[in-house]
Amino acid sequence: MIEHYAGAFPVWLSPVQVALVPINPEHAAYAVRIKEDLQKQDLRVIIDDRNESLGKKIREATLKKIPYLLVLGDKEVSGQTVAIRKRVEGDQGSKTLDEFICQIKEEIKNKS
């Protein structure tokens, strides 16, 4: 399987399905809340709250081949949304957390 997918596992098989990237330390509390909500849905989630630039965090998540990256900033916190980046397709725009959960659960269910 590892050789077949070259480490870029589909979301249903990936060891980490979603990485949360708070832009500033002020967004960490929102990231923790999002993580808890996603884990309640049996999703495998990590938070990258290191003191690094946003570009570096995105680049490293891409190199780790994490299927979904949720970027959390002021706009997302105030609107209670998440900015979605998909590994292959890039920026997917903003959605509510419930919309994202429906999307990823459907993808996992269909094993696409």
Q: How far is CA 49 from CA 9, 24, 32, 62, 63, in A?
A: 24, 8, 10, 16, 17
Alpha carbon distances (Å) from 43 to 51, 54, 71, 79 = 25, 23, 17, 23
Res 1: pLDDT? 79
Q: What tokens does 49 get?
A: 């709250």
Evaluate whether 69 touches 19 at the Cβ level (below 8 Å): yes
* Per-domain boundaries in the chain: 2-110
3-state helix, strand, coil in the chain (%, to 5): 45, 25, 30
- Classify domain 2-110 by CATH architecture: 3-Layer(aba) Sandwich (3.40)
Q: Model's pTM, two decimal places?
A: 0.90
36 three-state secondary structure: helix
Q: At what angle do helices 97-110 and 28-40 cross, to 10 degrees?
A: 40
Q: Kind of pairing, strands 68-72 and 81-86?
A: antiparallel
The pLDDT, as a whole number, for residue 3 is: 85
Q: Going residue by residue through the chain, which has 112 residues, state the pLDDT in tens, using 9 for 90 and above.
A: 788 888 899 999 999 999 999 999 999 999 999 999 999 999 999 999 999 999 999 999 999 999 999 999 999 999 999 999 998 888 999 999 999 999 999 999 998 7
